[in-house]
């Protein structure tokens, strides 16, 4: 399908899209078919892992957050209420041994017509090194 769409574009439009994809790739974001893949590097300390705090403990002031630790990870539910909208997020983090984890999430927010729109997401994290290099560890919540 993508090839068909690209064949209908002008050379200028194809070039513009290629340049936009290249700029995104520089930031760790790839577009593959209908998926947007984002790769980031974050430093998480052993203390945060031991406290099941890889997601952070502080919610924005307009949000309430509940965490439920499990033997193999943690479940998180968050609801944010703003004057115009209410958004929710349900996330399940599952550890894969001591050096990796998977995340599955569903967020819901009002769409253009005001009806709820659910967005599913997934991701994974892998231990890279005991030295975070230039990446500062996330602040530990108290």
Residues found in the chain = 142
Report pLDDT for 90.
Answer: 93
Among 83, 76, 85, 36, which Cα is nearest to 58's?
76
| pLDDT tens digit sequence for 2-54 | 565 666 778 887 787 778 777 777 766 777 666 667 667 777 766 666 565 55
Do the Cβ atoms of 86 and 79 come closer than 8 Å? yes
Q: Where are the domains of the chain?
A: 1-40, 44-127+136-142
In angstroms, rounded to a whole number, what is the distance separating the alpha carbons of residues 60 and 63?
5
Q: Is the pTM of this model over 0.85?
A: no
Give the three-class secondary structure for 15: helix
Give the three-class secondary structure for 113: coil
Q: How confident is the model at residue 134 (pLDDT cuts 50, 70, 90)?
A: confident
Q: How confident is the model at residue 92 (pLDDT cuts 50, 70, 90)?
A: very high
Mean pLDDT along residues 120-137: 80
Say which DSSP state 115 is in: S
């Amino acid at each position: 399908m993508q090839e068909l769409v690209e064949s209908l574009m002008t050379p200028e439009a194809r070039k513009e899209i290629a340049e936009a994809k290249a700029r995104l790739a520089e930031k760790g974001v790839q577009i593959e078919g209908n998926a947007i893949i984002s790769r980031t590097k974050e430093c998480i300390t052993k203390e945060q892992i031991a406290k099941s705090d890889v997601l952070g403990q502080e919610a924005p002031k307009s949000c309430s957050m509940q965490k439920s630790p499990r033997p193999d990870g943690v479940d998180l539910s968050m609801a944010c209420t703003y004057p115009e909208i209410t958004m929710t997020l349900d996330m399940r983090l599952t550890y894969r041994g001591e050096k990796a984890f998977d995340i599955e999430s569903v967020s819901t927010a009002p769409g253009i017509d005001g009806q709820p729109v659910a967005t599913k997401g997934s991701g994974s994290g892998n231990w890279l090194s005991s030295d975070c290099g230039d990446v500062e560890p996330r602040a530990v919540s108290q």
